[in-house]
Amino acid sequence: MQKLLVTPWKYVNKNGGPDRRFNDNRQIPVCRYGEINLKSSDGINIYLECSNHKLVSAMQDYFTKFMNYHNTITNISKKSAKATSNSFCALPAKMDTKKLQKTK
């Protein structure tokens, strides 16, 4: 579902019309494309080009929502990991291993 923007000539006169000196002077369609560029700090660089620019816009919106959700989940898991590691620090320095074996 390409959107055709303009169809200029391959060889153009000063006035913008076709240059009649060339037999193979044809019109070249110029279409609108959507672009997505995904980069990571690890060096991954993915560049996608799609002829359906509306689809690319929708993909960008969904990907942004996904990344916001992912960042929220990552921050929550980091906070819970810190809380878990702090709870281990609250254990006494000496533990009676006999009591631990009996409870198993």
How much is the average pLDDT of 89-95? 45
Top-confidence residue, 32 or 100:
32
Q: What is the pLDDT of residue 34?
A: 85
* Mean model confidence pLDDT for the chain: 76
Give the end-to-end CA distance of the chain in Å, rounded to a whole number: 66
Q: What's the pLDDT tens digit per position in 28-68?
A: 888 888 888 888 888 889 888 888 888 888 888 888 898 88
Q: What is the pLDDT of residue 81?
A: 58
Q: What is the pLDDT of residue 92?
A: 46
On whether the CB atoms of residues 34 and 50 are closer than 8 A, the answer is yes
